[in-house]
Amino acid sequence: MSVASRLEDIYNRIRIASESPRRPHGIGAVRLVCVTKGVSEDNIRYALSAGVLDIAENRVQEASAKRVRLGRVADSAAWHLIGHLQTNKAAKAVAIFDLIQSVDSARLARDINSKAVAAGKIQNILIEVKVSQEDAKFGCPPDDAPALARDIAGLKNIRLCGMMAMAPFFDDPKLARPYFSRARNIYENMSQAFAAPNPYSASAVLSMGMSHDFEVAVEEGANMVRIGSAIFRA
């Protein structure tokens, strides 16, 4: 299958999952973000020519190099950072990304804000909340998320658009459902802190679900999914 054919298949699966009676009302349409970690510029161009509007990278340096090599075509998409961000790379992240999905501390938020002030930019962000107990995953502890949102509210060059979460990997994606449900409950309890509408959604963003579990995430309320291997696999 071509990139375009895989995209068509994924859009159809998102549509079917969106019609599930489990899905909460009022959370908005689902936005597909194509994860291009390790993907060639040629394949990124194919995705953009097929109508993709959002590109995500895990690392600042890889995204920077790809944007240079892609040239003007890179500007046809919004660029998302979904990997962990160190404060010493905040300035470059602000220069490259339209949406930073992985803000998990007040310190990082303040650093992003100061770099955005220097750049004359309002930086769109999501709070990343850790809903699993996996040591390898980053994110703000759920109990700390409301306080982090309050800290961010005082930063003038940040727009808090919503939250991001990641479930553990399971061979059976249905086993991820409790993690997505928990994330949605946290999101709903914090909804007043999020900017809505925003550049990505008419409601606040709830970014969750990847290639192996995005349908379950959509059923549980995701309005943004991050999909890479299901689009670009060999």
pTM for this one?
A: 0.96
The CA–CA distances, whole Å, from 60 to 40, 56, 63, 96 equal 16, 10, 5, 8
Please state the domain count of the chain: 1
36-58 pLDDT tens trace: 999 999 999 999 999 999 999 99
CATH of the domain at 144: 3.20.20.10
104-152 pLDDT tens trace: 999 999 999 999 999 999 999 999 999 998 887 899 999 999 999 999 9
186-208 pLDDT tens trace: 999 999 999 999 999 999 999 99
Band of residue 233 on the pLDDT scale cut at 50, 70, 90: confident
70-101 pLDDT tens trace: 999 999 999 999 999 999 999 999 999 999 99
Domain that holds residue 132: 3-232
Contact, 180 vs 79, CB < 8 A? no
Q: What's the distance, CA 211 to chain centroid?
A: 13
Q: Is the per-residue pLDDT at 211 higher than 70? A: yes
Closest Cα partner for 157 from 185, 198, 115? 115
Closest Cα partner for 209 from 4, 30, 12? 30
